[in-house]
Homo-oligomer: A and B are copies of this chain.
Amino acid sequence: MTAQRLVVIGGDAAGMSAASRARRLRKPGELEITAFERGRYSSYSACGIPYWAGGEVDGPGALIARTPEEHRERGIDLRTRTEVTELDVDGGRVLARDLETGTERWHGYDHLVIATGARPVRPSLPGIDARGVHGVQTLDDGQALIDGLERAPGRRAVIVGAGYIGVEMAEALVRRGYAVTVVERAAQPMSTLDPDMGALVRDAMCGMGIEVVTGAAVIEVRTGAGGEVTAVVTDAAEYPADVVVLGLGVRPETALARAAGLPVGESGGLLTDLAMRVRGHGNIWAGGDCVEVLDLVSGRTRHIALGTHANKHGQVIGSNVGGGYATFPGVVGTAVSKVCDLEIGRTGLLEEQATAAGLRFVSATTESTSRAGYYPGARPMTVKMLAERRTGRLLGVQIVGGEGAAKRVDVAAVALTARMTVEQLTALDLGYAPPFSPVWDPVLMAARRAAAAVAADAGG
């Protein structure tokens, strides 16, 4: 028997998890595994870059879960600095270019895994390529940022975009002693929250001394005589800057796949079946930041770039390619973050998303504390909960508050998966002891309020 050939495009979480899982299930004589990675690193935590930038984490080494050498020792032929430039689906082969030597070669595959990730949004504005303007998508980006901060320490930083990366980078630069301004086009920071919850984040950030400018579109990056950034200009004002960080989100990196005719959704992310096989293609798999995933609450596919999903996709793909069986049933939209000592969690649908999905809902917001009110360290938290009208089904939860706030959304994530009603939530047997929770956990308190809102709505 000749060995089957597995080719993986992309050496980060999804691709290398798939390769590693398949390798554990199939010996080299049964399955040859070749992986191509454009960069120099493999299996790293891009989510860790803000903490590296903030000096809390040593990088880049600590952020690398497994080096290319370690993968090779485990029987995976991982080729870094090698970019796949063409995909020939009919021929079952990819064209790979060695970025050091420039040589190109076709590689045939029996199974292909596309794990090309995402690329950061980088608007084409005057001055956007000035020295001192940084993205934070790859370890090389992170290294460039840190080198820049250390080579020419400045005083003023402007962050463009107030999403997860934006607020995390705001914290990092505050830690480095910068005066930080965050510029966001929307009315509130954190567009992954409803505006009323985003306003809480804004207030807290202002309390930390971070300047938050919202409703402002960046139109230009101003540069000095040496080509270095000097200011960020919006349609309303100008903000001096020694360093600029772009946190405008990411888009699926699927140019290669789209050129080969593979199916993509509205976001440009690849569409797969539940086993993570590209729709309509029996031997092409895709996972990680380059795919759309099924949102179990709205019933639609969405693009969500998150390392934890990428790892799960990789496990599923590797199991299936390795002769096992696994599926990725979908997500409920859980995300957690923090900016200094403010925690932010969300799962399920925002009001706007629920409306777009054709759902009608009631919402309830409650104030509570992370521990019994009398216990030292109890921190305030605000919980907002959405429930479907008539059925009372839980649709989403957003939490903003002190330590202990963010991960509380996990309870709601499980409840969303199980399609529970908010009335059912009120009876959940959640852990209680004074150091951990008030006698009514904040999530249960919100559920009681939401259940009352459902009942009042049904009565009206």
A295 → B minimal CB distance (Å): 10
Stretch from A114-122, A194-202, A305-313, A382-390 at the B interface: A305-313
A325 → B minimal CB distance (Å): 10
Q: Are B432 and A417 in contact (CB under 8 A)?
A: no
Q: Are A336 and B48 in contact (CB under 8 A)?
A: no
Instruction: Report how far A428 CA is from B412 CA in the complex, Å.
Output: 11
Q: Inside 8 A of A329's CB, which chain B residues have their CB?
A: 424, 427
Q: Are B414 and A376 in contact (CB under 8 A)?
A: no
Q: Inside 8 A of A440's CB, which chain B residues have their CB?
A: 308, 311
Q: Is A328 engaged at the interface, CB distance under 8 Å to the other chain?
A: yes
Which residue of the partner chain, among B334, B336, B429, contacts A334 with CB atoms under 8 Å? B429
A256 → B minimal CB distance (Å): 25
Question: 1/0 per position for A94-118, CB-CB distance to B under 8 A?
Answer: 0000000000000000000000000
Which residue of the partner chain, among B330, B333, B337, contacts A433 with CB atoms under 8 Å? B337
Q: Is A63 engaged at the interface, CB distance under 8 Å to the other chain?
A: yes
Q: Inside 8 A of A413's CB, which chain B residues have their CB?
A: 411, 428-431
Q: Are A433 and B338 in contact (CB under 8 A)?
A: yes
Q: Are A374 and B431 in contact (CB under 8 A)?
A: no
Q: Chain A contact residues (Cβ within 8 angstroms of B): what range? A: 35 or more
Q: Is A230 engaged at the interface, CB distance under 8 Å to the other chain?
A: no
Question: 1/0 per position for A290-331, CB-CB distance to B under 8 A?
Answer: 000000000000000011110110010000000000011111
Instruction: Report how far A58 CA is from B337 CA in the complex, Å.
Output: 33
Q: Are B331 and A429 in contact (CB under 8 A)?
A: yes
Instruction: Report how far A164 CA is from B436 CA in the complex, Å.
Output: 14
| Chain A residues within CB distance 8 Å of chain B | 13, 45, 47-48, 51, 56-58, 62-63, 164, 306-309, 311-312, 315, 327-338, 345, 347, 372, 374-376, 404, 406-411, 413-415, 417-418, 420, 424, 426-437, 439-441, 448
